[in-house]
A and B are shown apart, each in its own frame.
Chain A
Amino acid sequence: MAEHMSENTIRLPDTSKLVISSSPHLHEDDSVRRIMFMVIVALLPACAAGAWFFGPRALWVLLVCVASCIASEILCTRLMGREVHVDDGSAALTGLLLGMNLPVTAPTWMCVIGSVIAIVLGKMIYGGLGYNPFNPALVGRVALLLACPTAMTTWVAPMTNHLEWAGVNSVTQATPLGVSELTAGALPFSYWNLFWGRTGGCIGETCVPALLLGGIFLIALNIIRWQVPVFYLATVALITGVTHWLAQAQCAPPLYHLLSGGLMLGAFFMATDMVTTPLSRKGAVVFAIGCGVLTSVIRIWGSYPEGVSFSILIMNSLTPLIDRWTAGKPFGTPRRAPREVKP
């Protein structure tokens, strides 16, 4: 009887509700949505700095880009007859990055067109998130740069538009890299102003401390690899350092290059885009060095003053090859060449 009593009080699991699945049964508490959200959070300081330096219209540009990116993605997935996954935040991130890569004077229609190009031609046409070979925000930016070069390279001086929502002040200013002639010891901008971002430029690219803050935040969260910004910036510093040493009158010193243009934004937030850059750490280093070489070459010898966007897009196209070259040999592979697999 005693045994019967204990049988009754011990509860056995109900097997009808059991879930059967393949191992592993544990999963790290992380998701695509969280990664995208964290990158957006990391970009906010730079956005705030842009709004401070270039006036509140900067926020309008960012908002239009984000909204039109989200709208284009929803429309595209509907047309493709797929489930809408805009909640993963990738479209919002593309919009934010595109907006940060536009001058504050960019007209609203341009923001919308840039966003549509970024999402439709940069991403959805390849099959959506994960399948795009090029960074969508840079596709949008470069398309606008080629289509409307004047509008894309008209820069307003910082701190002149403080309370201007609609119009923009006409006080224009060349960007640090747009100044064609440099003379030794007489740089057009002080390092101090370059560092804080008190120069002309795109909304989100000028304020170095804000970008560094976001970048370090992402490195600490293990969302981006530290190797990418470090090798990218080091390569640019090395090449511009050598050219500055050889031709001091024509070439700006390396620190000037590091602090100006879109380099910081590119190195921390564009060259680290997961989808369009190599998978492995080794591949990421190759990618970053390639970006550094191309950026320096375009800046020093090219006809464009700035080369970050182009160099990242060019390296994007090499990503599958880099993946193949840097594919790790499996653990325990002898040093001899792998056997060829018969078709």
Chain B
Amino acid sequence: MIKQLHFYGGIHPAEDKVAQSVPIVEPPILETYIVPLQQHIGAPAKAVVAKGDQVKRGQLLGEAQGFVSAPVHAPTSGVIREVTTCLGPSGAQVPALLLASDGEDTPAEPMPAIDWRQAPPGDLRQRIAAAGIVGKGGAAFPTVVKLSPPPNKKIDTLILNGVECEPCLTADHRLMLERAEDIVTGAQITAHILGAKTILLGIENNKPDAIEVMRQAVGDSGIKVCSLKVRYPQGAEKQLIYAVTGRKVPSGGLPADIGCLVQNVGTAAAIADAVCRGKPLYERVTTVTGTPLVSPGNWRFRVGTTYADAIKLAGGVKEDPIKIISGGPMMGMAVYSLDIPVIKSTSGILLLSQDELTQFDVRPCIRCGRCNDSCPTGMMPGILSVQIENQRYELAEKWHVMDCIECGCCAYTCPASRPLVQHMRRAKAEVQAARRAAKAKAEK
């Protein structure tokens, strides 16, 4: 059964997926890697190696600190040259290890393979935690936390996210074409852990080849491949759940509240690696694309590969870009340095040329209502933005600003070029601060 359900609102920007026909390339071993100890949401990992230590590929470099955290493993063999800090894509300094490779790429002793069909869910969760697996769609939330829902929340449906609705990005698309079997296995392992009966795979219909390959790969495993109408932000968790199941995640709630769990296809493949091959997560497929590049494509980068190395692998640039974005053009972060390393959640490195820069000549809201029509959460960004400009955050909270998923549809459609997403972020931060303050006051 193919569902062509559609979420509310959304936009359809130019797709520009130029790298979709370029197969994933395995890059050569580089001289140095900068491995951040925080590649995930939560507490940073604690280094278990010191300066001068010899490490092997896949060896543990940093152990998880607390439940919401993830360990970090060595991308290749070599010497820890320094325990330092580096610039993350968000612009913050994070603790990191500088690894000088010896060029041998000697693997460490892998963890033993697990026969997942026989294994108890607890063991599998432990393995996923030990392998340092985090959500590879962009948020980098530790997967084991997601796979441990509270006992009163029963997950019956696992949804695999192969939507890749961000323009320009093609990493998940290529992964589905080249590693379909592993994605299916990873999904089955996840469903086994959760006890989920249904597995759905959502793919937008601009990737007919991926839909075909995945349909063949799922065979008679019972996984349903859903072809979805192209619409940004279909890959957003709540929107995808609605598109494939018709269920609505309650406002302010989590997918677990309605028995769903969404997982990126890349995460599923990483789970298969960890469980069936004992391989920790130290590499990922990243799209390097953009008009200034000589040869855009998809690479299986080891974590710690700097953007400079990634761009060199893509043949360098023909012209100087005006923006370098970590992620896709709709939700990615603009960066100002090439020393930023690829981490577990880096889905793309996008370069924009001078003429692709949108200069924001901000004008007053003319109330055209396009933001309203495009908002997938059903908020009124136009009204909110005026309230926020007037610093009426309590009003903005009343008008549901906390439901904003920051997808950027409103700002994309705004003819007055208003920085709507920035307004929402500011209001969300202010409301959260006010809530914390109120809570602290109540506790006193």
Contact = CB atoms under 8 A, between A and B. Distances in A.
Interface stretch (B38-46, B152-160, B190-198, B307-315): B307-315
B251 A88 contact: no
A25 B325 contact: yes
A330 B332 contact: no
B383 A279 contact: yes
B383 A331 contact: no
Contacts of A88: 363
Contacts of B321: 13, 18
Contacts of A31: 415-417
Nearest to B249: A332
Contact of A24 (B377, B380, B421): B421
Contacts of A150: none
Contacts of A279: 367, 369, 372, 380, 382-383
Nearest to A20: B334
B170 to A, nearest CB: 16
B358 A23 contact: no
Given A13-B324, A20-B334, A280-B369, 6 more contacts: A12-B308, A21-B360, A22-B422, A281-B373, A330-B400, A331-B251
B366 A129 contact: yes
B299 interface: no
B372 A25 contact: no
A129 B364 CA distance: 7
B253 interface: yes
B322 interface: yes
Interface in B119-173: 167
Contacts of B408: 23-24, 26
B308 A331 contact: no
Contacts of A17: 320, 322
A328 B312 contact: no
Given A21-B334, A327-B399, A330-B403, A32 B363 contact: yes
Given A23-B331, A26-B167, A34-B415, A330 B364 contact: no
Contact of A23 (B324, B394, B421): B421
A111 B140 CA distance: 63
B336 interface: yes
Contacts of B333: 23
B379 A128 contact: no
B377 A12 contact: no
Contacts of B334: 18-23, 25
Interface in A232-259: none
Given A11-B317, A22-B422, A331-B251, A30 B358 contact: no
A328 B378 contact: yes
B113 to A, nearest CB: 38
A18 B338 CA distance: 11
B351 interface: yes
Interface residues of B, number: 79
Interface in B364-419: 364-369, 372-373, 376-380, 382-383, 394, 397-400, 403, 406, 408, 411-417, 419
A208 B363 CA distance: 34
A35 interface: yes
Given A19-B323, A281-B373, A12 B311 contact: yes
Interface string A76-95: 00000000010010100000
A259 B327 CA distance: 55
Contact of B292 (A13, A329, A332): A13
A12 B369 CA distance: 42
28 contacts: A12-B311, A12-B316, A12-B317, A13-B338, A15-B337, A18-B334, A19-B323, A21-B323, A21-B360, A23-B325, A23-B329, A23-B406, A25-B350, A27-B358, A28-B415, A128-B364, A129-B366, A130-B416, A131-B364, A223-B368, A274-B366, A281-B372, A330-B403, A331-B248, A332-B238, A333-B251, A341-B394, A341-B398
A330 to B, nearest CB: 4
Interface in A168-205: none
Interface of B: 7-8, 11, 13-14, 167, 238, 242, 248-251, 253, 292, 308, 311-312, 315-318, 320-325, 327, 329-338, 350-352, 357-358, 360, 363-369, 372-373, 376-380, 382-383, 394, 397-400, 403, 406, 408, 411-417, 419, 421-422, 425
A27 B311 contact: no
Question: Which of A7, A9, A12, A25 has most B Cβ within 10 Å?
Answer: A25
A343 B372 CA distance: 26
Contacts of A28: 11, 13, 412-413, 415
A32 B415 contact: yes
A269 to B, nearest CB: 15
B411 A24 contact: yes
Interface residues of A, number: 55
Given A35-B366, A279-B372, A332-B250, A13 B317 contact: yes
B97 to A, nearest CB: 23
Interface in A268-313: 274-281, 284
Question: Which of A10, A274, A279, A330 has most B Cβ within 10 Å?
Answer: A330
A23 B330 contact: yes
Contacts of A327: 380, 383, 399
A22 B251 contact: no
Given A323-B380, A341-B397, A19 B322 contact: yes
Contacts of B378: 328-331
Contacts of A331: 7-8, 238, 242, 248-249, 251, 376-378, 403
A130 to B, nearest CB: 3
A6 to B, nearest CB: 9
A25 B323 contact: yes
Nearest to B334: A20
A167 interface: no
Given A13-B320, A280-B369, A332 B336 contact: no
Contacts of B338: 12-13, 15
A271 to B, nearest CB: 14
A332 B253 contact: yes
A225 B369 CA distance: 10
B125 to A, nearest CB: 28
A7 B97 CA distance: 25
B13 A323 contact: no
A88 B416 CA distance: 10
B427 to A, nearest CB: 13
